Amino acid sequence: MATVTSYGAAGVVTGSCHLLAIEGGPRILIDCGMFQGPEEERNFGPFHFEPYEIDYLFLTHAHLDHTGRVPKLLKEGFSGVIYATEATRDLSEIIWLDSAKIMQEDYETNYKKAQRRGTEDEVKEPLYSEDDVEATLGLTWRYPEYNQTFEPIEGLKVTYRDAGHILGSAFIEITYLERGVEQTIVFSGDIGNGNDMVMPDLAKCAHANYLYVESTYGDRNHQSTEATIAEFKRIVIDTLNDWGNVLIPSFAVERTQEILCILKEMYDRKELPQCKIFLDSPMATRATQVYNNYSNMLNEKCQEVKKRDGSIFDFELLTFTPDVEASKAINEVDRRAIIIAGSGMCTGGRILHHFKNRLWNRKNAVIFVGYQVEGTLGRHMVDGARWVKIYREDILVRASVHTINGFSAHADQSAIVEWISHMEDLHRIFLIHGEGNKQVILRSVLENTFDQKVHIVEPEEVIYL
C-alpha cells in the first residue's frame, strides 16, 4: 500500500513538501519548499523524515515555496536523484543563490545586534550557504520533457505535463503497481489560470486515481485577462499623468516577465506616457534572461515578439539596475517612474527602500500583482494598513494601494473545477496548498460538482491510498 504524508503546504499556502512512500518500492519527495509569512520559523525545524532515505526528489517548479529547502535537504543527508525540467533547474539556481545570500546577510546583521546584547547563541544560522547550493547543483539531475513518460525504476512510470504556471512548471503523474494493478496519483504543484500573458495554457490531465491539488484561490474566480490588463493600464497611466510614480512589488519569476510584456506593448502602442521604467532586482533580471533563453516554452505571442525584436522583454524605456548604486540612483527620479522591485510580498529586498521614500506621497501608487501571504507586509498593506514599519521607522501610507488578482499565475476556482472535470477514474481528491477557509469553500464546490468526498489534508497526516 502506498502512503502520502504532507510535511508542508497542508493547511497553509507555502512549504510544499509531500512524501510518497510505495510499499516495497521507492520513497519519493514531491517538492521541498520554504515556509513563508508567519510559518517561516518552521524552516529551521526538522524535516520529520529522514532525508537520506529519499530515493527521488520530483520538483514541480522553481518557486521558493516549492524548492527553497532543497539545499537544506542535501545538508541533512539527501543524496538521491532530482527530477525537474531544465528550465526549473536554471531558475532554481538563481532562486537558491539569492536566498542563500539574503540569509547570510540577515544572519550577519542579527549577529552584530546580538553581540551588543550578549545573546549571540540565540541567533539562528542560515538554512544553507552558497556552497550548499553548489553541492545541490552537483547532485544527479534528470530533465524530463513534457509528455514523455519515463521510468526511474521498473514498475514506476512518471510523466511531467505543462502546468502553465511559470517557466518549466509541471504537474506530475506517477503510476505505480498496487497488488498487480496500476494506480496513478497526480500532484498538481501550482497550476496556471489559462489567462497567462507569457505561459501557454495548462495541459489537460486525462486520468488520475488520486489527485493532490492546490487550492490557493479555491474560494474565488479571477477577473478576465482583458479586465486585468485594462485595470493595470488605467492605474499606470493615471498615476503618470498626475506626475506620480508607480511601485510594483513583483515576484522575480513570472510576474515580472508578465509586467514587462504589458509595459512593452503599451510602449509599442504609444499608450505609455513619457516615463522611466526600472527593473530594480538582480534576481528578476537574471530570471528574465532565463525566460528569454527558453522562449520556445512560452506562448506563441512571446515567440513572435522574440522573432521580431530579438528579445521578448527589452525596450527603450526599460533600465536594469543590477548594483546597489544604480538602485540608489532611482531616488533621484522624483516623478514619472515605474519601479518594479522585489520582494513580491515585501518581506525584504529593494522594494522596501522605495516604499520608505515614496509611500507617504499621495501622488504615488502601489500595485500588488501577486498573492500576499498572511503575516507579510504586503498582506498588511492589502488589508488597508494606514501605517507600516520599514527599517524600524513608521511610514504613513498615503499612496494609493491597488490589488489586481487577475495577474495570478494560480488557477482560480472555476479553472480548478474545469481541469479536474477531464480526469477519468478519479477516486479521491486531496486539497493542499491553501488557507483553511478557502479550502472549505473549494471542498464544497468540488463535492457538489463531482459527487465524491474531498479531503482537506492536515499537516503530517498520513494518507493511505
Same domain, 447 and 397: no
Predicted local distance difference test score (pLDDT) of residue 234: 98
Q: Which of 362, 381, 407 finishes a domain?
A: 407
Bridge partners, residue 174, by sequence: 158, 185
List C-alpha distances in Å: 219 to 316, 441, 444, 448.
41, 6, 10, 14
Same domain, 171 and 286: no
Side by side, which strands form the sheet with 276-280? Answer: 318-320, 276-280, 337-341, 246-249, 365-368, 400-403
Backbone phi, then psi, for 220, in 5-degree steps?
A: -155, 170
pLDDT at position 72, please? 98
Domain region containing 322? 225-407
Are 246 and 394 found together in one domain? yes
Question: d(Cα 81, Cα 95) in Å, to the nearest integer?
Answer: 20
Mean pLDDT is lowest, of 144-158, 335-349, 424-438, 446-460, for: 335-349
Give the mean pLDDT of 375-402. 94
Give yes or no for residue 324 having a pLDDT over 80: yes
Same domain, 337 and 319: yes
Question: Can you tell me the mean pLDDT for 288-315?
Answer: 94
Give yes or no for residue 186 having a pLDDT over 90: yes
Residues 48 and 58 in one domain: yes
**Could you tell me if 379 and 453 lie in one domain?**
no
Lowest mean pLDDT segment, chosen from 45-54, 144-153, 282-291, 341-350: 341-350
The verdict on 82 and 216 lying in the same domain is yes
Confidence of residue 345 (pLDDT cuts 50, 70, 90): confident
Residue 231's pLDDT band (cuts 50, 70, 90): very high
Instruction: Indicate whether 180 pLDDT > 90.
Output: no
The per-residue pLDDT for 1 is 87
395 and 285 within one domain: yes
Nearest by Cα to 248 from 78, 97, 402, 392: 402
Quick one: average pLDDT of 331-341? 96
pLDDT reported for residue 352: 95
Q: Does one domain contain both 255 and 190? A: no
Nearest to residue 432, comparing CAs of 2, 61, 17, 3?
17
Q: Give me the pLDDT at residue 294, please.
A: 96
pLDDT value of residue 407: 84
Last residue of a domain, one of 365, 383, 407: 407
Q: Are residues 353 and 245 in the same domain?
A: yes
User: What are the pLDDT digits (tens) for 6-58?
Assistant: 999 999 999 999 999 999 899 999 999 999 988 999 999 999 999 999 999 99
What residue has cell string 485594462? 230
Q: What are 88-129's pLDDT values in tens digits?
A: 999 999 999 999 998 998 899 899 999 999 998 889 999 999
pLDDT more than 70, % of the chain? 100
* pLDDT recorded at residue 250: 87
Is pLDDT above 90 for 434?
Answer: yes
- So what's the pLDDT on residue 373? 82
Give the dihedral sign, CA 104/106/107/112: positive
Q: Angle between the 130-137 and 86-117 helix axes, to the nearest 10 degrees?
A: 160
Q: How many domains does the chain have?
A: 2
Handedness of CA 350, 354, 355, 357 (dihedral sign): positive
Domain stops at, among 358, 387, 407: 407
The predicted structure's pLDDT at residue 88 = 98
pLDDT band at 178 (very low <50, low <70, confident <90, very high): confident
Same domain? 259 vs 358: yes
CATH of the domain at 20: 3.60.15.10
CA distance 81 to 383: 42
Question: For residue 373, what are the CA distances in angstroms to 24, 229, 345?
Answer: 39, 23, 7
Residues 136 and 279 placed together within one structural domain of the fold: no
The CATH number for 332's domain is 3.40.50.10890
The confidence score (pLDDT) of residue 217 equals 92
Residue 196 has pLDDT above 80, yes or no: no
Confidence at 409, pLDDT banded by 50, 70, 90? confident
